[in-house]
């Protein structure tokens, strides 16, 4: 019986089961509910209801899909005013389930820590 090769996939293109998609939420206070805003973000290609899918996906690619490993922005200065916000990211990244929940001291500290990923939560992230 002859061997028939499978479909040829260009280098760097992942199979469909390796999805990169998140539902991201933003809530005021120290609890993830009630949700103030939520968006869908897909990163293969960058799209969804997120305000900056290209920037958010770029940051997540650098963090290997782990919102807890996002590189903080340099040069962002926030006041010490405590006005907590809680964000979540739930979805899949390259076949791995991801669930992230974290409370930040303010919208500014959230922005400084996560950049574009959760920037949809407030109209002005600073």
pLDDT tens for 21-61 read: 999 999 999 999 999 999 999 999 999 999 999 999 999 99
Q: Is residue 58 part of a domain?
A: yes
The token duo for 20 is 């990169």
pLDDT, average across residues 67-79: 95
DSSP class per residue in 21-45: EEEEEEEESSSS-S-SEEEEEEETT
Q: Is residue 10 part of a domain?
A: no
pLDDT band of 92, cuts 50, 70, 90: very high
Q: Is residue 8 part of a domain?
A: no
Q: Is residue 6 part of a domain?
A: no
* Residues near 55 by beta carbon (within 8 Å), at least 6 away in sequence: 115, 116, 119
As for how many domains the chain has, the answer is 1
Average pLDDT, the chain: 88
**What secondary structure letter does DSSP report for 67?**
G
For a pLDDT cut of 90, what percent of the chain falls above it?
A: 80
Q: Is residue 104 part of a domain?
A: yes
Q: Tell me the residue range of the domain where 79 lies.
A: 20-114
pLDDT band of 17, cuts 50, 70, 90: low
pLDDT value of position 9: 56
Dist. CA 65–CA 38, nearest whole Å: 18
Closest Cα partner for 97 from 65, 61, 70, 69? 65
Neighbours of 118 (CB within 10 A): 29
Given a cut of 50, whether residue 88 has pLDDT beyond it is: yes
Q: Is residue 12 part of a domain?
A: no
Dist. CA 80–CA 51, nearest whole Å: 27
pLDDT value of position 126: 42
Given a cut of 50, whether residue 93 has pLDDT beyond it is: yes
pLDDT band of 2, cuts 50, 70, 90: low
pLDDT band of 96, cuts 50, 70, 90: very high
Closest Cα partner for 113 from 57, 73, 61, 83? 73
């Amino acid at each position: 019986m002859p061997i028939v090769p499978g479909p040829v996939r260009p280098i760097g293109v992942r199979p469909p089961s390796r999805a990169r998609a998140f539902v991201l939420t933003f809530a005021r206070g120290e609890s993830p509910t009630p949700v103030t805003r939520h968006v869908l973000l897909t990163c293969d290609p960058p799209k969804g209801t997120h305000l900056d899918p290209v920037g958010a996906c770029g940051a997540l690619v650098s963090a290997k899909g782990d919102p807890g490993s996002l590189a903080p922005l340099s040069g962002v200065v926030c006041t010490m005013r405590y006005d907590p916000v809680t964000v979540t990211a739930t979805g899949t990244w390259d076949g791995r389930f991801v669930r992230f929940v974290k409370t930040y001291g303010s919208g500014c500290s959230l922005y400084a820590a996560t950049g574009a990923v959760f920037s949809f939560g407030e109209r002005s992230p600073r």
